[in-house]
A and B are shown apart, each in its own frame.
Chain A
Amino acid sequence: MSELQTAPVPRRNFELLLLVLALGVGFAAFYLVGSATDEVDHTDFIVEMSILSGLALLLHVLLRIFAKYSDPVILPITVALNSLGLAMIHRIDLSRSTEQSFRQLIWTGIAMLIAAVVLWALRDHRNLRRFTYIALLVSILLLLLPMIPKLGVTINGARIWVRVAGFSLQPGELAKITLSIFFAGYLSSNRDLILMAGRKFGPMQFPRMRDMAPMVIAWLVSIGVLVVQRDLGSSILFFGLFIVMIYVATARISWVVIGLLMVVVGGLFAATTMSHVTRRLNTWINAFDPEVYHAQGGSMQIVEGLFGMADGGLVGTGLGNGSPYRVPLANSDMIIASFGEELGLIGLAAILMLFLLLVTRGMRAALGSRDTFGKLLATGLSFTLALQCLVIVGGVTRLIPLTGLATPFMAAGGSSLLANWIIVALLLLISHNSRRPMSGSVGPTDEVATPGAASTKAVKTK
């Protein structure tokens, strides 16, 4: 990652070029799906792709106006992933006679519009810092919403949904943003305190007990999510987020050690006392046992996903030519397996590379950011994207137990789309802030140490 000594250039035309490429990928995917399945009526996919293109261009124009120095790669990658996801959901629809892609399109539209609103209304990510504790309150509210009787519904054993006016929402998806904001705000204000105090113990400096408080709260929240809502995926996600943000704020590996110890304790606790976690572990380890395979809620889903991916092999069956619809939840939790089957190892590796690139651009925005809050927020948000992707890919490949996390931008599901598009909007704003030319007129700066440190670093690397 090179540093920010190069002269600031907007690079919006480059973004437009990439955007055209990304939309081309989407069109190609839809065309392949249509031709492989003998779909006679092409209006559906033309409408879907046109709406997506229109919204992508709208975001592009907004970026030209409000954040013209933002990273030119982030939006095109997101659009490419989103349109690939839409094409796959459409493809599963055709085999299953479902209507998921229409819903997904509406949600994509809503998500992109809200991302546009965020760009337009927020302008500068630092405005969020004012809402540090409100963000905490909102996070708690969002996590508690599904527990309210009548409002919350239990789907597939996890109570993480609310149903409003016919729409199912996962408020927890949004909590990962508000929690990132809270942690970024809290840590950027208190990091000096946390850094100063502490006891040295061997090579590592350990924090004071009272500075541990937020960490402990975070841990309790994660366990609470796991116990009460039975949502292993979100639990892992939240806790990972906390550890990483505290680590980045303090640069002390001791936090990671403590965090991982807590994971071990929490994991052992969950594995031994909570039946649904025990069952999931058994399903993971003995996936190919016929008894486990045939059991209700057994390993059938993951094993069928593995069979599908093995079927796809190196080059895949081609979009529309495989049978990914044989895997339960082929268009949401298991969409990675669907891509693995139809696009092969090569196609799936390309998708993973897109995710890694997106995460890298987010981290780069964090590196370049001139304020601690921005650094922490960008790291947290990028890490959230990365961890969702890693947990789900690890799950479908049976590296770790499968959990019900959504593949960002691809899996069918409105809340996840909405949350991840908002993350993209925030990353765009932070990257704009870190790449734009320095000038006296750039709003409040809360920190002077970081840009200085960054530039000495840059001189060193030159």
Chain B
Amino acid sequence: MNQAIRRVWIALVLLFVICFGGLSYIQFFAAEQLAGNSLNKRQLYREFDLPRGAILVDGKPIAESVPTEDGQFTYQRTYNEPEAYAHLTGFYSLANMSTHLESELNGWLTGNDSDLLFDRLSAMFTGNSSEGASVELTIDDRLQQAAFAMLPDDVMGSIIVTEVKTGNILAMASKPSFDPNDLSVHSTKLANENLKALTEVRGLSPYINPAIGNRFNPGSSFKILDLVVGLESGEYDLDTAIANPNEVNIAGARISNFAEGRCSTRTEASLRWITANSCNTPFALMTEKLGNTPFEDVAERFGFNQQLSIPLSVINSQFPPNMDAGQLAQGSIGGFDNQATPLQMNMVAMGIANGGVIMQPNLIKKVIAPDLRVIEEPQPKEFSTATTEEIADQVAELMKEPVQNGTAVRAQVPGVDLRAKTGTANYDVNEEGHGRTVNSWITGFAPGNDPEVAITVALQRVDYNTHSRVAVDLMKQMTEAVFNQ
């Protein structure tokens, strides 16, 4: 009998050893794999219980973690200027992940970035909970608020202001916007209800920042690039009169000048006059004369077809390669599949303003550790050399024309030498409930003699009849705001 008892005991010991093996597997050998499992939200939970760094503008937090007593987590992410900054900060949600800067800057904000290793170690030894770093943006709060306020509530549009010499983004505002506080609530149910309500707003996605995440036909604002192509070819100059027929037919594509404009008054004109009045046919003829290569080349140098991180990721604007002659003619006036983000057209203005050199657009001024040490301060860097200084200067001179005598005269601000180019691209001849809708653009820079800022206004799918002048008017208001008038 004792033999049997001993055997039972040995069997039990063996089973305990197997259990110990199972525990070792889970807690040691497979621990990392389990931590990386997509169902595992423990890292996220931990984040929600730690003080997350703030996102600062002019030293003031626009997003910060505030202690809460909701019983679920220790901190509640709170947005202080929710709507004006929603498309920059994004939201910080347990249920629907985080977006935009909350997502891109997560390493710094949580303190998990390798630059904060020392802080983490010391927190471990002192027993303090580790704090994340704060990130100060390049945004100028006054301009951001002004841009957001001036955008009409009923349009889908973005305004971007950048410093041409550094690439720093001073304002990047879009409408329609939302309140990220609604999406950052800890209750999954409430967060999902709020998210669902937002999906019903026309043109709004809390996952897309329209200024860098939407691309659409740039219309005539793309002619800035055509001017670079033409002048680089040496076949064009500012003052020689070139053909400006009312309509051309390029490989079956009918391109005509805008019937309501002044282009039809001259069959031959200089680039100055053509630029001022935004005539189409001379550029269509230019594509016939010069072919695809220089257009593709210039588009690429200005940033088309390229990935960009500011550090939000910007979707690439597209200038399709190997278009046929008709498509190229349409593409040259910002049609066909030629699509640009508002930031792309702002970069075009930046390049012309800065002697052909585009500075990398950037949102981050500095990263500040919990002990106020500055651990990262991005320096301005070049994105590309888009063209020569000489060509850039000539195009800058041409961009004076629309404001002085052409399509953008309403944007004139007394005492400020604004250079700009407008663009209007058909979106739909009869969009349901909105009539004829267009994408309406203006991009430019000021002051002309020593450019400081590039300003871009891009409105999507606005009613042509009622809103065709809104973009130019916003350009004027934004210019006034920048130059304190």
Contact = CB atoms under 8 A, between A and B. Distances in A.
B42 A326 contact: yes
Interface string A296-323: 0000000100111111111000000001
A279 interface: no
B35 interface: yes
Interface in B1-35: 1-6, 8-9, 12-13, 15-16, 18-20, 22-28, 30-32, 34-35
A308 B35 CA distance: 9
B23 A393 contact: yes
Interface residues of A, number: 51
Interface residues of B, number: 36
B4 A248 contact: yes
Interface stretch (A42-50, A127-135, A352-360, A424-432): A352-360
Contact of A394 (B19, B28, B39): B19
A248 B12 CA distance: 14
Contacts of B207: none
A88 interface: no
Given A367-B5, A397-B19, A399-B19, A345 B24 contact: yes
B126 interface: no
Contacts of B16: 352, 355-356, 386, 390
Nearest to A349: B20
A84 B151 CA distance: 63
Interface string A367-395: 10000100100010001001000100110
B46 interface: yes
Interface string A328-358: 0000000000001000110011001001100
A170 B15 CA distance: 27
Given A248-B5, A375-B5, A393-B22, A359 B31 contact: no
B71 interface: yes
Given A372-B1, A379-B5, A310 B20 contact: no
A384 to B, nearest CB: 11
A97 B71 contact: yes
A453 B2 contact: yes
Interface string A239-251: 0000010011111
A251 B2 CA distance: 9
A363 interface: yes
Given A323-B46, A326-B42, A375-B1, A397 B23 contact: yes
A457 B18 contact: no
A244 B4 CA distance: 9
Interface string B17-61: 011101111111011101101111010011001000000000000
A323 B45 contact: yes
A244 B12 CA distance: 11
Contacts of B32: 310
B7 to A, nearest CB: 8
Contacts of B26: 306, 309-310, 340, 397-398
A290 interface: yes
A288 B28 contact: no
A309 B23 contact: yes
A363 B19 contact: no
A453 B4 CA distance: 13
A397 B22 contact: yes
Contact of A326 (B28, B34, B45): B45
B9 A345 contact: no
A310 B34 contact: yes
A1 B27 contact: no
Contacts of B1: 248-249, 251, 372, 375, 450, 453
Contacts of A248: 1, 4-5, 8
Interface string A399-437: 100000000000000000000000000000000000000
A312 B46 CA distance: 13
A75 interface: no
Contacts of A367: 2, 5-6
A184 to B, nearest CB: 12
Contacts of B30: 310
Nearest to B19: A393
A344 B5 contact: no
A293 B41 CA distance: 13
B127 to A, nearest CB: 10
Contacts of B6: 1, 367
B176 to A, nearest CB: 32
A248 B42 CA distance: 47
A62 to B, nearest CB: 27
B3 A345 contact: no
B5 A288 contact: no
Interface in A129-185: none
Contacts of B3: 251
A223 to B, nearest CB: 23
A454 interface: yes
A314 B28 contact: yes
B23 A454 contact: no
Nearest to A383: B8
B373 to A, nearest CB: 27
A226 interface: no
Nearest to B13: A356
Contact of A311 (B13, B15, B35, B49): B35
Given A323-B46, A394-B22, A310 B35 contact: yes
Interface in B172-192: none
Given A340-B23, A352-B19, A399-B19, A363 B5 contact: yes
A366 interface: yes
B177 to A, nearest CB: 32
7 contacts: A251-B4, A309-B23, A340-B23, A348-B23, A367-B5, A375-B5, A454-B2
Given A349-B23, A397-B23, 16 more contacts: A247-B8, A250-B4, A251-B4, A310-B34, A310-B35, A314-B27, A344-B27, A345-B28, A356-B16, A360-B9, A375-B5, A379-B5, A386-B15, A390-B12, A394-B19, A399-B18
Of all A-B residue pairs in the complex, the 7 with the closest CB atoms, nearest first, are A397-B22, A310-B34, A345-B27, A310-B31, A251-B4, A393-B19, A248-B4
